[in-house]
Amino acid sequence: MSSFRAFRALAINEVRASVRNRTALIFTLGLAVLFMIIFGLLFGGSGVSVSFDAVNNDGTAQSAAYLRALSDISGVSVHTKSHAGAFSDLKDDSVTAVLVIPKGFGAAVEGQGPSQQVGIYQAGGGSAETAISDELVANVTAGFAGRGNPAVTLSAPRVAEVNQVTEMDYILPSMIAYIILFSGVNYVAIGLVEKRVTHVLRRFRATPVSSRTVLAAQVVGGALTVLLQILVLVLLGIWVFGARNYGNWLLLVPPIVLGTASFVGIGFLITSVSRTSESARALAAMVTFPLMFLSGLFFPISSLPTVVQTIARILPLAWASDALHQVMNDGAGFSAITTDCLVMAAWAVVTIAVASWRFRWD
Amino acid sequence: MAVAPPGPATSEAPGMMRAEPMPARTGLGGEMADIDVEGLVKRYRDVAAVDGLSFTVQRGEVFGMLGPNGAGKTTTLEIIEGLRTPDAGSVHVLGTDVLAHPQTVKERIGVQLQATALPQFTKVREAVELFAALYRKARPVAEVIDEFNLGEKADAYTDKLSGGQMQRLSIALALVNDPDLVFLDEPTTWLDPQARLNIWTVIEGIRQRRKTVVLTTHYMEEAERLCDRVAVIDRGRIVALDTPPRLIAEHASGTTIEFALVPGLDPETLRRLPGVDRVVADGRVSVTTRSPEAVLHVLLDPHAPWNVGGGVDGAAGGGGGGGGGGAIRDLLVRNGTLEDVFLSLTGRSLRE
């Protein structure tokens, strides 16, 4: 079919040109890698500090004294939390371990009840901090148990059933979302405005190729460029930066494809109101930069003011970011990201429909 | 001013050798014209960029549209190419109604746009391959690259090409689908003279392959050298349409004699000579006449006061007219050109 041949040639040319365009690559893949390096430097390997969350089911003076004895050790901090709060902190990698003090701890120490066992939970993996924390807790516990009778003992360290998410694990799906956002808008949309302004579209129009074919090639070519960049980013993230994916790789495909489609659509809307490539760039920057900070790329949306949260939750990047984090960090299944995908699909359909209706050759 | 036509001024105008124009509307065999434009109008707000154009172009003809910038040449061309919709009129290209079936027409024509741009980060060969893929039928890429001498530059990025190379590529792309009809919009504007000559050779090559060519230009030399027929366009209208020699014969028939004004010569004397149509004197004298011999006879007469008095200039009389060492300097004799045709039809210069 001749129109497929035309489409394929245009799309290949698009991907080839995008890969050769180093300036644009620096702003997408380059910046994403830079962010990962910065995050690695900010949060990675800065001395050993041990912090505990304690779930105190006992609440007596004895259990308070036990925790104080632990927190008196220099370099150790202890916070008393609810059960859920403590395990959520463990999951976010904000504590080294969770201690669970059983009810009856005080009575056991006073010799008025049966012997009790303090539980210690760590995330999987094992690090310098966890080894040190085991030893500290064991020493303190031995101090309490050592008054004649072994009233309290320490459980063997138990691995909690959580995926501990490091900063690097969190930033990788964020940077995937970042590439989707910037490439969708920059490669596809600004690329299209540039072709219009420099009369490349007009030249295509002088051939039998249809506007639909040209548009489709621009979108698909742009999307392939996005996928290539994500591939490079993920490989770098895992091999160089040690990020982990707890989910199914295939489940990343729907949010990546739909997210790209929705940003391509938004980019097209930008192009249909921009006469020059300069104004398209300015408008694109006005859309993309706030989105980047509003959509949970660098910190969770829940830490934003409510009004801003509401706005952020309407825009597609928050949904893309949510879906990617759920899959990669929580190992979520498709049912958990169905809503995300539906919202992004809706964005894509509406924006691309409006854009192709408003399409201008020149 | 005063650009002499190529070759000796006394010879026939170059176009004289060409075939006579074909009759309008139908070709020799009675087949339809390659282009048939009827009552074309295109308005931008209140201004009519194209104001009722009608003409036909025959198979194998090189048809020129000559006019200053803003005359409506490009708009007309783009309507015929199916890039713009006219407000009124009909356009048939290769027997097909362009407005009804633009894709059919685009398959069979080749287009070189003014100010051609190609996709960024694309090499010459890739550009030819890309455009070849946009047509149902295309010529082999290597053949096109060879034909336009782009072999050396085949692996260069298109934005690294010189103006002349870029224009050759642009014309190559217009011919990649082996079209019957080729449109060239100002193919040599912005080119240096060497590159321009090169492009002229390219266009002559296209003509030899029996393609119909429509080109716009505001260079009269280009129109005179390349075109079988020229439509002189001004303000969206065709003010004259014929072969270059006939246009010149009809609208700029006289010979123009130019020289530097010398003391003792009253230009008024020349005005009274038989055959003189026009005398303009402002430092340089320009005489337009139907009998140049009479004017030259007077000017170069060794006994004329301006020649006797100025004897000292003797050898410096160079510009020369081969006369006996008179004081008339910088003498130039030239035939009428399309520039003069445009001037006489519109009262304005092509370069304005």
Ranges A134-148, A182-196, A308-322: which has the least confidence: A134-148
What is the distance between the alpha carbons of residues B119 and B110, in angstroms, rounded to a whole number? 18
pLDDT of residue A151: 62
pLDDT of residue A347: 93
How far is CA B314 from its chain centroid?
40
How far is CA B186 from its chain centroid?
9
**B107 sits in which H/E element:** helix B102-108
The tokens 């650009």 sit on which residue? Answer: B3
- Highest mean pLDDT range out of A128-132, A281-285, A307-311, B243-247? B243-247
pLDDT digits (tens, 9 = 90+) for A59-112: 888 888 888 888 877 677 888 888 888 888 888 777 888 888 888 888 888 777
pLDDT digits (tens, 9 = 90+) for B155-183: 999 989 998 899 999 999 999 999 999 99
List the strands of the sheet with B96-97, edge to edge. Answer: B47-57, B35-44, B88-93, B96-97
Would you say B205 and B59 are in contact if contact means Cβ atoms under 8 Å apart?
A: no
Chain A partners within 8 Å of B135 (Cβ)? 2, 207-208
Find the CB nearest B133 among A5, A195, A205: A5
Could B103 and A208 be called an inter-chain contact, meaning their C-beta atoms sit closer than 8 Å?
yes
Quick one: CA torsion of B63, B68, B72, B74, rounded to 10 degrees? 60
Pick the residue with more confidence: A271 or B152?
A: B152
Could B120 and A208 be called an inter-chain contact, meaning their C-beta atoms sit closer than 8 Å?
no
Pick the residue with more confidence: A230 or A72?
A: A230
Find the CB nearest A9 among B103, B121, B133: B133
pLDDT of residue B11: 40
Which pair of structure tokens corresponds to residue B29?
């065999």
pTM: 0.74
- Highest mean pLDDT range out of A109-113, A175-179, B271-275, B284-288? A175-179
Find the CB nearest B83 among A16, A21, A206: A206
Which pair of structure tokens corresponds to residue B94?
């290769």
Which pair of structure tokens corresponds to residue B319?
């510009």
Chain B partners within 8 Å of A9 (Cβ)? 129-130, 133-134
Find the CB nearest A199 among B115, B130, B135: B115
What is the distance between the alpha carbons of residues B59 and B79, in angstroms, rounded to a whole number? 19
Whats the size of chain B, residue-wise? 352
What is the distance between the alpha carbons of residues B61 and A27, in angstroms, rounded to a whole number? 52
Averaged over B147-151, what is the pLDDT?
Answer: 91
3-class DSSP state for residue A213?
helix
Instruction: Compute the count of residue pairs across chains A and B with CB atoms less than 8 Å apart.
Output: 69
Would you say B84 and B59 are in contact if contact means Cβ atoms under 8 Å apart?
A: no
pLDDT band at B2 (very low <50, low <70, confident <90, very high): very low
Q: Give the angle subtended at the CA of A339 by the CAs of A334 and A340, to the nearest 5°.
A: 85
Q: Where are the alpha helices (DSSP H) in chain A?
A: 2-20, 22-25, 31-43, 61-71, 83-91, 105-109, 128-145, 167-183, 191-197, 200-205, 211-239, 253-272, 277-294, 306-314, 316-330, 334-357
Which pair of structure tokens corresponds to residue B11?
């010879």
What is the distance between the alpha carbons of residues B157 and B136, in angstroms, rounded to a whole number? 26
First to last CA, chain A: 27
Ranges A82-86, B285-289, B310-314: which has the least confidence: B310-314
What is the distance between the alpha carbons of residues B20 and B198, in angstroms, rounded to a whole number? 26
pLDDT of residue A106: 83
The residues, any chain, with a CB within 8 Å of residue B115's CB and separated by 6 or more, are A199
Ranges A129-133, A158-162, B273-277: which has the least confidence: A158-162
The residues, any chain, with a CB within 8 Å of residue A196's CB and separated by 6 or more, are A202, A271, A360, A361, A362
Could A207 and B134 be called an inter-chain contact, meaning their C-beta atoms sit closer than 8 Å?
yes
Closest CA to B307 of B326, B330, B285, B331: B326
Decide if pLDDT at A241 tops 80.
yes
Could B135 and A207 be called an inter-chain contact, meaning their C-beta atoms sit closer than 8 Å?
yes
ipTM tops 0.95: no
Mean pLDDT for all residues in chain A: 83
Q: What is the 3-state secondary structure (H, E, C) of B3-67?
A: CCCCCCCCCCCHHHHCCCCCCCCECCCCCECCEEEEEEEEEECCEEEEEEEEEEECCCCEEEEEC
CB of B106 within 8 Å of a chain A CB? The answer is: yes
Pick the residue with more confidence: A78 or B141?
A: B141
Distances (CA, A) of B273 to A290, B132, B295: 83, 63, 7
**A52 sits in which H/E element:** strand A50-56
pLDDT of residue A308: 82
Closest CA to B335 of B261, B248, B250: B248
Would you say B114 and B185 are in contact if contact means Cβ atoms under 8 Å apart?
A: yes
Would you say A92 and A167 are in contact if contact means Cβ atoms under 8 Å apart?
A: no
pLDDT band at B220 (very low <50, low <70, confident <90, very high): confident
Could A206 and B106 be called an inter-chain contact, meaning their C-beta atoms sit closer than 8 Å?
yes
Closest CA to A348 of A254, A262, A256: A262
Would you say B278 and B234 are in contact if contact means Cβ atoms under 8 Å apart?
A: no
3-class DSSP state for residue A21?
coil
pLDDT of residue A255: 94
3-class DSSP state for residue A7?
helix
pLDDT band at B206 (very low <50, low <70, confident <90, very high): very high
CB atoms closer than 10 angstroms to residue A302: 8
pLDDT of residue A323: 93
Closest CA to B339 of B294, B291, B286: B286
What is the distance between the alpha carbons of residues B111 and B119, in angstroms, rounded to a whole number? 16
